[in-house]
Structure 1
């Protein structure tokens, strides 16, 4: 693991990493703006529960967009063949861990920017609370979790086009299941991550949801790491 530092620094200098995170943040901000416009369009509408609904929607949006960004962080280089060159330079383990960490860092900063914009817009429009450090932290954490989830799944799937559909589906799947499965869906990663972010945003301790989401990430990332180390890169 001597090469982990150089691999991480090399990944952090990749232009695509920051371009991709900027594009994902811009997409999330654009869709968030549409949600705010829809929420404030009818000035006479009942706004009871609107802050919670907006926070829920934007949190899910950040998770989904970050997961796609995370999957592309692997599959784009794999499709182009440049991932093989990174393995030759840094070996497999440092190359994988460096890419995963750099992806999480970029998503963390993008999520923080989204949290700042969400809090500022909420304060100005007076529809969903105010800007606070906990709100920014919640969005940053949700983005990092989503990116790591997408990166792990992308490394397992390896197909750029398949990841584009499969990764967002993995985040949206709990909401698509029938109501009869509601108790079971609370143990899925997207639900746990979203619950943690929504509660952390309003300063409510949510250690159980955080530990559950982190457990999912460790499990999936460990599986992806094991497969990457042993599987042929061709």
Structure 2
């Protein structure tokens, strides 16, 4: 792992790392902005509780958008063969870890900006809410969690187009199968991540949910790393 620092520094200089993260954030911001504007025009007056509804929607969009960008950060370069060249330059472990770390870092930054933009949108659209540091934290960490989840799944799937459907589906399954899963659905990664983000955004600690989401990420990331180290790159 001596090449980890060079691999990390090299990956930070990738233009697509920041462009991809920015494009994903802009897409989420555009969708959320449209929802906020539509809600404010429909109500014609400050609506108590509107911020909670839109915040929940925004966090869900942030989780999904970051996961897709995270998956593409692997699959896009794998498809073109440039990730294989990074493996030759830095070896498998450092190349994989460096890409996962920089992808998550970029997502954390874009998530923080998204949380700030959400608060500013709300200030202008509806006078019942304001820019809240806890909300910014919720968006920031949600983006980081989603990005790492997407990156791990993307490295397992490897197919660029398939990951576009599978990654969002993996986040929507607990809700789609809520009647079948019952209480088990609450223990799945998307539900745990969403529960933590919604609570922390209103200054309510949810350490159990956060710890559960991290456990899922550790397991999935470790599995993805082991598969990547042993699987043929062709």
TM-score range, shorter chain: over 0.9
TM-score, normalised to structure 2's length?
Answer: 0.96
User: In structure 2, what is the equivalent of residue 218 of structure 1?
Assistant: 218
Report the Cα distance in structure 2 between the residues aligned to 1:51 and 1:44, rounded to whole angstroms.
15
Report the Cα distance in structure 2 between the residues aligned to 1:20 and 1:156, rounded to whole angstroms.
20
User: In structure 2, what is the equivalent of residue 56 of structure 1?
Assistant: 56
User: In structure 2, what is the equivalent of residue 92 of structure 1?
Assistant: 92
How many corresponding residue pairs? 234
Q: Structure 1, residues 137-189: CA drift from partner, whole Å, max 9, x if none?
A: 11010001000000000000000010010001111111211435342211111
Structural RMSD (CA): 1.5
Report the Cα distance in structure 1 between the residues aligned to 2:212 and 2:46, rounded to whole angstroms.
35
Does the C-alpha gap of structure 1 residues 77 and 180 become closer, same or farther in structure 2, counting only changes over 3 Å?
closer
C-alpha contact 1:193 1:210 (8 A) present in aligned 2: yes
In structure 1, the gaps of 5 or more residues are none
SS at match of 1:42: helix
User: In structure 1, what is the equivalent of residue 187 of structure 2?
Assistant: 187
Deviation at 1:36, TM superposition (A): 0.4
C-alpha contact 2:84 2:233 (8 A) present in aligned 1: yes
Q: Structure 1, residues 195-217: CA drift from partner, whole Å, max 9, x if none?
A: 11111111111101100100000
SS at match of 2:203: coil
Deviation at 1:122, TM superposition (A): 1.5
Report the Cα distance in structure 2 between the residues aligned to 1:193 and 1:199, rounded to whole angstroms.
10
Within a 5 Å distance, the mapping from 1:14-163 to structure 2 comes to 14-43=14-43, 47-126=47-126, 129-163=129-163
SS at match of 1:232: coil
Report the Cα distance in structure 2 between the residues aligned to 1:190 and 1:80, rounded to whole angstroms.
30
TM-score, normalised to structure 1's length?
Answer: 0.96
Report the Cα distance in structure 1 between the residues aligned to 2:20 and 2:141, rounded to whole angstroms.
18
Does the C-alpha gap of structure 1 residues 126 and 46 become closer, same or farther in structure 2, counting only changes over 3 Å?
closer
Deviation at 1:52, TM superposition (A): 1.9
SS at match of 1:203: coil
Does the C-alpha gap of structure 1 residues 202 and 178 become closer, same or farther in structure 2, counting only changes over 3 Å?
closer
Deviation at 1:194, TM superposition (A): 1.1
In structure 2, the gaps of 5 or more residues are none
Stretch of structure 1 that moved more, 71-80 or 122-131: 122-131
User: In structure 1, what is the equivalent of residue 4 of structure 2?
Assistant: 4
Report the Cα distance in structure 1 between the residues aligned to 2:128 and 2:176, rounded to whole angstroms.
26
